[in-house]
Amino acid sequence: MRNDHRFWHRLSGHLILAGGALILIAVGQFQRGSSPSGAELVAATAVSTQVSVAEDGVEVTAVSPTPTLPPQGTLPVVNDSSLAPLPNPNTYQTKLPVHEFQLHEVARGETPNIIANQYGISADTLLGGNTWLSQESNQLQVGAQLVILPVDGVLHNVRAGETIESIAELYRVTPEAIINYPPNNLEFPFYRLVPESELVIPGASIGQFFFTAPKSVATNAAGEPQWTVFGTGTYIWPINGRCITQFYNGFHPGLDVGSMEGSPVYASDTGTVTYASFAAGTYYDYGNLIVINHGNGFETFYAHLSSIGVFPGQTVTQGELIGFTGNTGRSSGPHIHFEIRDRDFRTNPLDRLGGGYQNCT
Ligand SMILES: [Zn+2]
C-alpha cells in the first residue's frame, strides 16, 4: 500500500508538471499569435513603402501617404504624423554648390603667370574665374581682387534653362567633368541646376592672356611714337636645325622646320612677348604658341611648342631661349611653325633668315 500510495503521489506530481508546461506553451502560443511575426511585419511595411534600387545602387524610397501601421506597442513607430510630414515623392531638395575660393589682390608688378604660378593653376584659369577681366594682361589693375579657382577651369554662372549637357557643350567638356567635381554638389539622378548658382567647369577655358606691347610717350624726330622695346630688324633661325619640312606658300604662310621633340627655341629678334599659351580660338591650330612683337611693325610666331618658357609682357632679346619644340595643335610630328609678320602680313621667313638650309620635304 505504501508503494501504491507513493506511485499515485509521484504520478500526480508528474501530471501537474506536465500540465503546467502545457499551459505555459499554450500561453506562449497565444502571445505569439497576438503579435505579427517578423515576416508579417516586413510584409506590412512593404505594402506602405515602395523601395526601388536604381542602377548605381542609390535607394529611392517613396512612402505612400497612408501607411498600414503595425499594431500598437510592437514597434517604436510614431503613429502621430502631425509633427513629421510624410515626404512627398514629387518634391526634390536640390543642393547648392559649395565652393571655397581663395582671393588674390593684385600687387604691383604681378603678371597673370606670376599670380597663377603661386596657386598652381594656369593663367587661363585667372580669366576663367574672373570673366570680367580683360584678356590683355597689361590691363591687370593693382589692387584688383581675383577669384582663384582650386582647379584649372571656368566659373560658370548658371542661367535659367541651362542643363549640364548644354553647359558641357558650351565649354567643350564632358558632362561627367562637371558632375564629378564634388563642390558642384550635383546629385544623381536629376543633377538639378539652380539659376544664379555658380558651377566650376574643370578643364574649360575661355581664352588666354595676351599683351599689347606698349609704345613710349616719347616721339622720334619724325614725330612718331616710339616703341619701348624694338628689335634689331635682323632675324636668326628659331631652332638649331635647318631641315625644312614645309616651305612658305599661299596655303602655308610660314616655315616648318623639323626637329627632335623638346629642342630649344630662341627668340628670332628682340621684342616683347605678346602671347604665350596654348592657342585656343583664332590660333587653335598652332598648339602652344609664342608671339613676339618686335616694336617695329614686325612680329614672329613660334607654334606647336611642347613647352613655353616666357609670359606675355616679358621682354626678350635676340637668341634668348623662349621654349621647346613639340607637336601640339594641328601638327603631324615635332617641328616648329615659324612666321614673320610685317604689319600683319605673313612674309616668307626665308627672305630674312640668313644662311643655307636643307630641303626635308
Ligand atoms: Zn607650318
CA of 202 to the centre of ligand 1 (A): 31
Mean pLDDT per segment of 10 residues, for the chain of length 361 residues?
A: 47 46 45 40 36 44 47 54 54 78 94 91 93 89 96 95 95 95 91 92 90 74 79 96 95 95 97 87 80 94 95 93 94 94 96 93 89
* DSSP-derived secondary structure letter, 66: S
CA of 337 to the centre of ligand 1 (A): 4
- Going from the Cα of 125 to the center of ligand 1, the distance in angstroms, rounded, reads 28
Gap between the terminal Cα atoms of the chain: 133
Q: In the chain, which residues fall in CATH 3.10.350.10?
A: 102-202
Q: How far is CA 35 from CA 28, 58, 98, 298, 310, in A?
A: 11, 33, 49, 94, 81
Instruction: Quick: pLDDT tens for 99-112.
Output: 999 999 999 988 89
Distance 307 CA to ligand 1 centre (A): 17
Are the C-beta atoms of 257 and 242 separated by less than 8 Å? yes
Query: Ligand 1 centre and the CA of 110: distance in Å?
Result: 34
CATH code for the structural domain at 216-359: 2.70.70.10
- Residue 278 CA to ligand 1 centre (angstroms): 16
What does the alpha-carbon distance between residue 171 and residue 125 come to, in Å, rounded to a whole number? 13
Cα separations in angstroms, 304 against 2, 142, 217, 251, 256? 120, 33, 36, 18, 10
Distance from the CA of 18 to the center of ligand 1, in angstroms?
A: 105
Residues 55 and 47: beta-carbon distance below 8 Å? no
Superfamily of domain 102-202: LysM domain (3.10.350.10)
- Residue 173: per-residue pLDDT: 94
Name the nearest CA neighbour of 207 among 133, 109, 139.
Answer: 133
The SS3 of residue 3 is helix
DSSP tag of 252: B
Cα-to-centroid distance, 153 and ligand 1 (Å): 29
pTM of the predicted model, to two decimals?
A: 0.64
Number of separate helices (H) and strands (E) present in the chain: 6, 20
Ligand 1 geometric centre to CA of 328 (Å): 12
Query: What's the CA-to-centroid distance between 254 and ligand 1, angstroms?
Result: 6
CATH 2.70.70.10 domain position(s) in the chain = 216-359
Q: How far apart are CA 273 and CA 138, in angstroms?
A: 12
Residue type (1 letter), 275? Y
What's the CA-to-centroid distance between 284 and ligand 1, angstroms? 13
Query: Tens digits of per-residue pLDDT, 54-63?
Result: 444 444 444 4
Q: Which of 161, 164, 169, 172 is nearest to 189 (CA)?
A: 164
Q: Please give the distance, rounded to the nearest whole angstrom, from the Cα atom of residue 279 to the centre of ligand 1.
A: 14
Going from the Cα of 2 to the center of ligand 1, the distance in angstroms, rounded, reads: 127
Helical residues (DSSP H) of the chain, grouped into ranges? 2-34, 38-48, 112-119, 123-129, 164-171, 175-179
